[in-house]
Structure 1
Amino acid sequence: MKEREQFASRLGFILVSAGCAVGLGNVWRFPYVTGLYGGAAFILIYLLFLVILGLPIMIMEFSVGRGSQKSAASSFRVLQPEGTKWHLFGYIAMAGNYLLMMFYTMVGGWMLYYCFKSVRGDFSGLTPDQVAGNFGEMLGSPGTLTLWAVIAILISFGICSMGLRNGVEKITKIMMICLLALMAVLVVRSITLEGAGAGLSFYLKPDFGRAMEQGLGNVIFAAMGQAFFTLSLGMGSMAIFGSYLDKSRSLTGEAVSITVLDTLVALMAGLIIIPACFAFSVEPGAGPGLIFITLPNIFNHMTGGIIWGALFFLFLSFAALTTIVAVFENIISFAIDLWNWERKKAVMVNIVAVILLSMPCILGFNLWSGFEPLGEGTVVLDLEDFIVSNNVLPLGSLVYLMFCTYRYGWGWQGFFNEANAGEGRKFPAAVRAYVSYILPLIVLVIFFKGYWDKFHSVTAMIVAAAIVLVFAYIVFYRKKSTVPN
């Protein structure tokens, strides 16, 4: 059996793991959600949930990866007690990674395409309606969407084909450093725009009265959901990087560093977008169209707008590609762990597989636009995103929580010893009751709230309950005669 690769440096592990967490949820969703729910007051609530919700689950996922030295495809099988079925979740985690890439590669292609168009000056001199028309034309062209999705796929798998250290670690470090540098330049430009002061005040000065206008419950659930989903937890995307770690450092300190870096990127994205919106009298809670329609119009009114627009979409491209590379590494590791494939073979097979699997999402915006899987106005992307974001991520996180605390899983002691092996900040034993009983309930609330927000029907809630029962079977099934007390 070939010895498992390991990261060349601690910095490499932190930047690659942060690159997985740092995605379009940080730089696309976070600014407009912050704008919608009241600015700084929302951010404070979000940071609270990031610590009490996201951080413990990340540490558990890292622990399962390092403890097993395997990807999600095999990690539960290595650590589970005999007679239990935790390993069944590995197949769900694998499906979740593929499903995520079925639409995320296309969106990553959007970023590359808009960077290319910005460099060419395609938006220069266009009216707002013409800029909006450009976005619609892109979505209506299956050839354009396919070309740029394939480019994103080939770049990312090309990086993975070079190996963990020489490819994933080295290139992601460069992309993350460039991403942070680009963001710093764009932050300075945005906050120095005439009229940006009002946006800075909105973004950095808490106003709970303004947040209350949206309803306290809505703000709390929005902050909870953003904190939960921003770290890409629940489908083994973090566990794979834990499996490449030695035991020289405890995992809590590493998870804190990654969470801080992920949050820094989200906050900087807000500092780029929200002051610019205020400077040009644009609603910062305008939704996803903010990136592809509103911001190109803002750049059109800036001095040197072609340069700033190109830099902005280059930074978005780096944010998307770091996530795609990280998930592709997880996908490649499935084949290596399950079938002992060579890395090159896993890359070649998965290039073809991911391109083919991406086509339904691409065609959903044009040739298959009549297919509305979740109701009027929805497309294939909405269905794929719903399965991943509202099902695999929360329920996968629940599995990691139960596996690390439930005595018929890996158990508290197994997790606790692994998390605290090595130097650095230790996972506190005092929170055992919280992560064992309270945190799983919070995750379940997020799961059911997602179904209610999407469908507003009792039938949907019954379906959600049935899905939870299936997961409960995986978690609680055991052969009593073979599992030690």
Structure 2
Amino acid sequence: MKRENFSSRLGFILVSAGCAIGIGNVWKFPWMAGSNGGGVFVLFYLLFLIIMGVPVLTMELAVGRASRKSAVLGYKALEPQGSKWHIHGWFCVIGCCLLMMYYTTVAGWMLDYFYKFATGAFEGMSNEAIDGVFSAMLASPSEMGIFMVIIVLAGFLVCSFGLQKGLERISKWMMLALLALIVVLAVNSILLDGGAEGLKFYLLPDLDRALEVGLGNVITAAMNQSFFTLSLGIAAMEIFGSYMSKDHTLPGEAVRICALDTFVALMSGLIIFPACFAFGVQPDAGPSLIFMTLPRVFVNMAGGRLWGALFFLFMTFASFTTVLAVFENIMASCIDNFGWSRKKATVLCCIFILLTSLPCVLGYNLWYFSLPLPNAPAGGQILDIEDFLVSNLLLPLGSLVYLLFCVSKWGWGYDKYLAEANTGEGLKLPGSVWLKRYLRYVLPVLILVILIQGLF
């Protein structure tokens, strides 16, 4: 069966960026910046994105484009005879499934809040009542379950139409709408009375504030965020490499994907920080920023119902483009490895994700339990465990495997990787000795630092 390709370069870039752009950008990035001193964190984030994110992204795309297959068969096509690199392909499939077992629930939260703002549920509420809305949602398995099911069914429905007619067509429009929404929301926040202070906090590097947090903490937080923002290590990007043409070089495409990803992350801060400062709200409120802090801001803002609805529509689009991309990866793996038709893959994968997403939904209420660990959060332990396995283990470990596969003589090999990465028109990786040494000896150590820090 002939493998589908993207109908256009724009389609590839928007779908790939849609996979990278998710809750990590628009939720985690702003509060990480807020709690790590603002501008200094942003500078380090951009540096690590260039020296870590872009190289590993080119490697995932190179494996996909050279093999024209999903993770397991992609490794098999390129690995030296008798080697076992393809075993990591199965861990990639497990990682994608694990990610969707909780990501669908969080995407459902975004859709739920969009619905609440659109229908005026927050109008006239006190701050305490707004905080109570989030707690009530977590306590209700039916409310969370309904929105999770809507996300899963809508995602698999889109993917059932195939790459061009489903994923590419819908993701393109959602990404363009997302980019338009983020600009409108950012302009609105910047123009608020008192918003200028938020801009200063966010964009002007303040070494004193960074030193208060600890410069080492700021640097490691920026390294972590720049690395995780691209969803590398579980073949979420590799699959799009397998649908790519050879017209353009991979470093050029990787830079474009990173630029879009970073644009959305930075713009999210332009929405959140001016609004927080305009209404006297702490910008380093942590994960509660989205569901407790920002709704308070919108309720007190002129036209808050509209701005709140638009913000959570934007958040829904950001999370749903990732859901679509990872669903496509899971389905493509089943089609490639088991010979299923797209229709069969859609039905069976949909049932599987629906069932395996239920523990995360129930982990906040009916299956609530506490972990006997210091500083362990109360409730949501199933989501925390699933997120830990994906974010702290499978992403960095998987990225390390892709890196070693591409640069070591025991894997695909550096020369073959470099040739694939530089095929086509555009930005090329230099064939210099320093780059080879950096990718072979320095980058693996940086990824190991992230892995060890995440585990311990």
Interval of TM-score (by shorter of Structure 1 and Structure 2): over 0.9
Matches of 2:73 and 2:388, distance apart in 1: 25
Structure 1 counterpart of 2:441, one-letter code: Y
Per the alignment, residue 198 of structure 1 pairs with 197
Counterpart of 1:401 (choices 395, 400, 403) is: 403
Matches of 2:401 and 2:109, distance apart in 1: 33
Maintained 8 Å contact 2:60/2:237: yes
For each residue in 1:348-390, what CA deviation from the matched residue of structure 2 results, as whole angstroms up to 9, or x when unmatched? 1011000100011111000111253866435100000000000
Per the alignment, residue 431 of structure 2 pairs with 429
Structure 2 counterpart SS, 1:5: coil
Matches of 2:351 and 2:154, distance apart in 1: 14
Deviation (angstroms), 1:392: 0.3
Per the alignment, residue 413 of structure 2 pairs with 411
Matches of 2:203 and 2:358, distance apart in 1: 41
Residues 58-77 of structure 1: pairs in structure 2 closer than 5 A:
58-77=57-76
Distance 1:373 1:62, change over 3 A: farther
Maintained 8 Å contact 1:114/1:313: yes
Matches of 1:275 and 1:212, distance apart in 2: 23
Structure 2 counterpart of 1:323, one-letter code: T
TM-score by length of 1: 0.92
Matches of 2:425 and 2:48, distance apart in 1: 26
Per the alignment, residue 313 of structure 1 pairs with 312
Deviation (angstroms), 1:60: 0.4
Matches of 1:144 and 1:72, distance apart in 2: 35
Matches of 2:203 and 2:389, distance apart in 1: 34
Residues 105-116 of structure 1: pairs in structure 2 closer than 5 A:
105-116=104-115
Deviation (angstroms), 1:208: 1.3
TM-score by length of 2: 0.98
Structure 1: runs of 5 or more not aligned: 453-485
Matches of 2:397 and 2:32, distance apart in 1: 23
Maintained 8 Å contact 2:104/2:152: yes
Maintained 8 Å contact 1:371/1:380: no
Distance 1:161 1:374, change over 3 A: farther
Maintained 8 Å contact 1:199/1:276: yes
Counterpart of 2:448 (choices 444, 465, 474) is: 444
Structure 2 counterpart of 1:157, one-letter code: F
Per the alignment, residue 369 of structure 2 pairs with 370
For each residue in 1:65-103, what CA deviation from the matched residue of structure 2 results, as whole angstroms up to 9, or x when unmatched? 001101113211111001111011011111000000000
Structure 2 counterpart of 1:440, one-letter code: P
Q: Which moves more between the two structures, 362-371 or 100-109?
A: 362-371
Per the alignment, residue 251 of structure 1 pairs with 250
Maintained 8 Å contact 1:374/1:383: no
Matches of 2:63 and 2:218, distance apart in 1: 33
Structure 2: runs of 5 or more not aligned: none
For each residue in 1:8-57, what CA deviation from the matched residue of structure 2 results, as whole angstroms up to 9, or x when unmatched? 00000000000000000000000011011111111001100000011100
Matches of 1:291 and 1:374, distance apart in 2: 26
Deviation (angstroms), 1:206: 1.1
Deviation (angstroms), 1:258: 0.4
Percent identity, aligned pairs only? 55
Deviation (angstroms), 1:427: 1.5
Maintained 8 Å contact 2:393/2:455: no
Counting matched residue pairs gives 451
Maintained 8 Å contact 2:111/2:316: yes
Is residue 21 of structure 2 the alignment partner of residue 17 of structure 1?
A: no
Maintained 8 Å contact 1:373/1:380: no
Structure 2 counterpart of 1:225, one-letter code: N
Matches of 2:343 and 2:405, distance apart in 1: 33
Matches of 1:250 and 1:25, distance apart in 2: 27
Distance 1:130 1:52, change over 3 A: same
Maintained 8 Å contact 2:3/2:243: yes
Residues 139-288 of structure 1: pairs in structure 2 closer than 5 A:
139-288=138-287
